[in-house]
Amino acid sequence: MTFRKRTRVDGGCVGHVHAAVPRPVTMTLPIRCKSGENRKQHHTDLYQSDNFIIRRGQTFHMWITLSRPFNRNTDKLHLDLKTGKLPVVSKRTHVIVPLVEELKDDCWGAVVVKEDNRRMKLSVNSPPTAIIGQYQLRVETDSVNGQYLSTHNPENDIYILFNPWCEGDTVYMHSEEERQEYVLNDVGRIYYGTMNQIGVRTWDYGQFDEGILAACFFILEKSETPPTGWGDPVNVVRVISAMINSVDDHGVVEGNWSGHYSEGTAPTTWSGSVEILNKYHTNNGAPVKYGQCWVFAGVVTTVLRCLGVPGRTVTNFSSAHDTDVSLTTDVYLDENLEPIEHLNADSVWNFHVWNDCWMARPDLPAGHGGWQAVDATPQETSLGTFRCGPASVTAVRHGQVYLKHDTPFVFAEVNSDKIYWQRNADGTFSQIYSEKKVVGHFISTKAVGSDERNDITSLYKQAEGSVEERIAVETACRYGSKSEAYSAPTAEDVSLEVVMDGEGPEMGGDAELSIVLRNSSSKNRQISLHSQVAVMYYTGVHKAIVRKDTTDVEMLPNEGECHTVSSPPTDCHYMMNTIALCFVKTCFTVRQHNRCILLEKRMVSVFDGHVHSAHKTDAIVSVSMFKHILNEYYIS
């Protein structure tokens, strides 16, 4: 198990507020006592910080030293807490904590638990709905000689976090083993590659490192969202999703998929979040250059765990990007089955990395709490801002795309059908084929308590091809912009399969595939077979076409026929240093049925002594199967 314990900062009672006003009740506040009592009970003893860090919905203790013994009959005392730029009592950003006889779970209050001459020990309770953030603390007293409010000392500020150990908190997580993994573990694993060849790398989340908590609160403040919403983890996660990318709000990481990183750091160079977050904070909110999906996701996990929201990094293989809320991945072809590039905005990425966070969802129908998908990679806008989620994973699984937030987009990523449309002579389009098992495979995250890969596909979708899964797809697509995509019947008596022997081509050798056609009907079939060798980025964007072939085939009843497609290294020589992913696309038309089937077969490359898929230009440093040196090593 990868679990690195941090050394706990543990000192004496420091940070005093001195009251110089000569009144009968003045005070000294040694509230930053980190002898272990508060920090250990609140599971904040791993933070490498001298700040007073607690979790909401749980009592904490503090000592107050007065100028004379406290008289309960004539003296009054309360704590005064303020957060945000304009704290207001009615908005819960200005909190007056009274002395009470007995603490209640759902409200602020303080009780005197011990008195020692001029010293008082208070037990203070915060409600499980308290706003998270940095609070300024002062103490106000009222006696026969008047009122006194202590001056603010930044060293006595209180940092309040979400509390997964508190049953009343909406981020409550029952399993201690899962809390250890999804809140306290500061090292994780991120998966990449293809569904057939899954790679992994270690990521240092470092949520307890020095400066990270301050950077996380800085991000919330930089968002300019009102602190009144920071008591709701749904709102906070929406802010995090928006602020980790820099597109429209000068957030933490600037994305770059161009392959040119001279003005910053290549995405593959990063191995953790700490340097990124500290750099963003130190530079007063200047976006850090550069990141791609796994970098965004790694930083989101750090921020979630630092603020107390259970979170994990998730990789989806064969991940769709739906650009028009159709809930399908659409491919448009002309009359000759050639792609119409300006219409083909949808794509299927080899893999895409996002996050899950854990919380109840009182804003949704019962049963939709638990894991929520959140994605900081800037792909599509949500209410005008580049962000995504939190979307209930349960809602995604059942196709309930009408539930917020951004559930349609997440559903399409994991369970959209790939629909092929052909242009007619009059300019309209007709559906000619659909693939139902292309998108959303081997959805992966690090297992609890070990370094094993945990396949969580079943959380996001029903068993592929099952009645339940088809119902979920059709339920979702009723709310999409192309609900008619499920009404086009096609003949199924001719099938096509692309196969590759063994584990794939050897480095420097030919990439040879077999195209197997089968006619299961009792009649002859005239078939036009189209094959295409091309190069594309891991995002599904085409780089270049290497070779195209068209073959007419006449098949007898119940006959099978095999054709070979080969791409020798010389075909790709001109793409040296720019190759992303070599793949073969094949399609055929059965002329009697005007039917088209398209299939893709992605080839593999060999690097670092292992077999992997070749990915995007801007992230591979290796030797490809064509024995060419590539720019960088792509891992997400």
Assign 220 to helix, strand or coil: helix
Q: Which pLDDT belongs to residue 495?
A: 78
CB 150 within 8 A of CB 29: yes
Q: Give the fold, CATH level 3, of 27-161.
A: Immunoglobulin-like (2.60.40)
pLDDT over threshold 90, residue 4: no
543-560: pLDDT as tens digits: 667 777 778 888 888 887
Could you tell me which residues are beta bridge partners of residue 255?
Answer: 291
- pLDDT one-digit tens code per residue, 83-130: 999 999 999 999 999 999 999 989 999 999 999 888 899 999 999 999
Between β-strands 198-204 and 453-455, what pairing exists: parallel, antiparallel or unpaired? unpaired
Binding site listing: 415, 417, 464, 469
CATH superfamily of 494-619: Immunoglobulins (2.60.40.10)
pLDDT of residue 538: 57
Evaluate whether 537 touches 543 at the Cβ level (below 8 Å): yes
Q: Show Cβ contacts of residue 142 under 8 Å, excluding neighbours closer than 6 positions.
A: 75, 76, 77, 148
| Alpha carbon distance 266, 243 (integer Å) | 20
Would you say the CATH fold of 182-486 matches that of 27-161? no
Which residues fall within 8 angstroms of residue 67, CB to CB, at 6 or more apart? Answer: 19, 23, 24, 25, 26, 27, 118
Helix runs in 544-631, H state only: none
SS3 sequence of 242-271: HHCECCCCCCCEEECCCCCCCCCCCHHHCC
What whole-number distance in Å separates Cα of residue 153 and Cα of residue 555? 86
State both tokens at 382: 């949500």
* Matching CATH number, 182-486, of 3.40.1190.20, 3.90.260.10, 3.40.1160.10, 3.40.190.10: 3.90.260.10
pTM of the entire structure?
A: 0.79
pLDDT score at 151: 87
Question: Catalytic residue positions?
Answer: 293, 352, 375
Is it the case that residue 510 has pLDDT exceeding 90?
no
Q: How confident is the model at residue 29 (pLDDT cuts 50, 70, 90)?
A: low
Q: Point out the annotated binding site for Ca(2+).
A: 415, 417, 464, 469
Confidence bin at 483 (pLDDT 50/70/90): confident
Ranges of each domain in the chain: 27-161, 182-486, 494-619
